[in-house]
Amino acid sequence: MEKLAGGLLLALTFLMPLKFGTLAVMPEATGLYPGDLFSWAIISWPAHSFGLFSGGLLLLLAPAAFRCGRELFSTPAGRTALLWGVGLPAVSLIGWINAATFDYALGETAHLAGIGAYVLAVYLMLARRPEWRAVYWGVLAGGMLCLAASGLYQYFWGFRETREFLEYQMESGAAVSAHMQLKIASDTRVFATFVSCNALAGYLLILMPLTVVMADRWAHRFEPVKSSRIIFCGISGAMVSGTFLLARSRGSYLALLLAAALLVLALPMRRLYRMILILLAVLIVAGGAVYIKAAGRGFASMEERVSYLNTSARMLAEKPLAGYGWGGFFYRHMQLKTTDSDESAHDPHNLVASFAAQTGVAGLAVVLAAILYPMFLIGRRVLGRKPEEGEWPLFALFWGEVAFFLHAMMEINLQIPATMAVAGAGLVSALITEERPETSPVPAVRLGGAALPVLAALAALWLNFRWIDAELKFDRLLSYARPMSAEDQKRPPHFTAVARLLRENDAAKPYSPFPWEAAGDYYLRFGDVPAAEHCYREALKRSECRPAIYRRLFEIEYARGDRGAARKSLKRMYELFPTNPRYRELVERHFPELLAPSR
């Protein structure tokens, strides 16, 4: 059973970058749920389905913990696995206390439980069979090369195929927004199987060095070795670095450069050489800034991230004990943001700030421990000297993790299952030693050691199953409320079906405003204004801090001549999102006196 579970875990590891580069905790939308097996083989899978796989595999590997007992988690690798597998999901529960929309709280804990289950499963596998570590790293590298191949295919052929498909959809009568048409026509930043180019770059940062090192190891199996090394390392290096460059993620470039600068500082070399390399890095950063400005991309995204950090710091200062709750950043940032745009980010794009702002000081402490504790221990082994022959994979993995965590301070890597799972499991694998944990002769001790993995597995399975079940129901409702295909968009009104699906959704997650909001949009689209207004007010009962719903209510009330109610809705909309230029324009046009108190 242990070998079977280990083999399945390696298979999941290989598939992660190909199937789980999706974005978790998006309750206002759903993943893709096609009706045929061929489509499932092609598409990325719903983010929360990862927790079902990782939880199931952890349950299969739990007997390994029973044999060893609590001693299993007394090693550095074991403590790191506990921080990621139990600490992060457990501390995320603090974010339930002040959550204004419970969907975000449940989704975040489910997501972290799935990641934690994977990290624990990898630890149990490698603790029992440390000789499998090289195999695990090889599987990571193999999946990475497939991901790079996907990215290169997208650049050379995929974008053209996407444009042709879009043209076909539009000819079939599907409504495609002008923004989406422009994006598909002009944006050629590679994202491969991931949700965005930035998410792809985060994953690449972790494993690019390790992939080249593992390719070098594979080359030693072929004669002549010297030529094989050139071919293997050259091809793998070109594939992963080419995909990384084609992603054109400015944050990842900066993270890689900072990691390279730290590497230069850490390596033993003459001071003159070190100063030359540091000066070169400064010139590269300056040149990159000039290029970004000249290319017209500007620094708006950088300004947004500074605004995210400002909001996060304010949130931690205002509610240090329990934070604002998961999803709280979305609502508070709309009020505090310092940039003049209608963007409403759901996450501070910073791994540490996300926990700090939404779970308080406890979350801040745990996430810092989960990062710094293993990085410190690995760093002690690799810093300040040239790696020996067998240490190159460890060296490569350490610096990949350094680059990734720098990138995670400016991007939304927290919500990507594949990226976070590999980041955590990579740290654990780096700390694995050849010594196997001893088997405890005391049954009670063995049972105590197995309890945590079993509970973690059950939590991942139950939370993510509940999420997927509710998401499937919501997906069926959205096929009516916000149809994507031309066939669904031509469907005649079917109020009975929508009412039935709304009841199903409300039974599955009675705390959620999103099914009510979607149903309200459906009724409004077909002219049933009273039903739409009822749905919007039901949505606000479940989550009061939603400015877009107040805008819809304003439009309904203003159209029927109820200026008092319309003014009240518009005022609340503006209070929730005062920095949105479109909302401000709406207030100026209809009730300009509402702007006076904010001056």
Q: What is the DSSP string of 457-522?
A: HHHHHHHHHHHHHHHHHHHHHHHHHS--SHHHHTPPP-HHHHHHHHHHHHHH-TT-SHHHHHHHHH
- CA-nearest of 398, 373, 371 to 267 is 398
Q: Are residues 323 and 444 in the same domain?
A: yes
Quote the pLDDT of residue 69: 53
> How many domains, the chain?
2
Structural domain containing residue 526: 465-598
| pLDDT for 291 | 60
Answer yes or no: do 48 and 167 share one domain: yes
* Same domain flag for 75 and 186: yes
Question: Does 446 share its domain with 545?
Answer: no
Question: Band of the pLDDT at 599, cuts 50, 70, 90?
Answer: very low
* Residue 169 pLDDT: 72
Positive or negative, the CA dihedral 414, 419, 425, 427 is: negative
- Report d(CA 280, CA 277) in Å as an integer: 5
Same domain membership, residue 412 and residue 476: no
Considering the domain architecture, whether residues 549 and 574 belong to the same structural domain is answered as yes
Q: Are residues 369 and 490 in the same domain?
A: no
Reported as a single tens digit per residue, the pLDDT across 174-226 is 666 666 666 676 788 999 999 999 999 999 999 999 999 999 999 999 999 99
- Continuous segment of H or E residues that includes residue 368: helix 351-382
Instruction: Confirm whether 283 is domain-assigned.
Output: no
Q: Could you tell me the CATH number of the domain that includes residue 550?
A: 1.25.40.10
Output 165 or 507, whichever has higher pLDDT. 507
| Among 435, 461, 487, residue at a domain's last position | 461
Contact partners, residue 46, CB within 8 Å, separation at least 6:
22, 30, 31, 32, 33, 468, 471
Q: Is 187 within the bounds of a domain?
A: yes
Q: What is the mean pLDDT of residues 374-391?
A: 87
Helix axes 581-590, 563-576, angle to 10 degrees: 150
Answer yes or no: do 334 and 215 share one domain: yes
Cβ-contact 85, 122 below 8 angstroms: no
Name residue 143's amino acid. Answer: G
Is 430 in the same domain as 575? no
pTM, full prediction: 0.93
Could you tell me if 428 and 496 lie in one domain? no
| 320 and 362 both lie in a single domain | yes
> Are 130 and 59 members of one domain?
yes
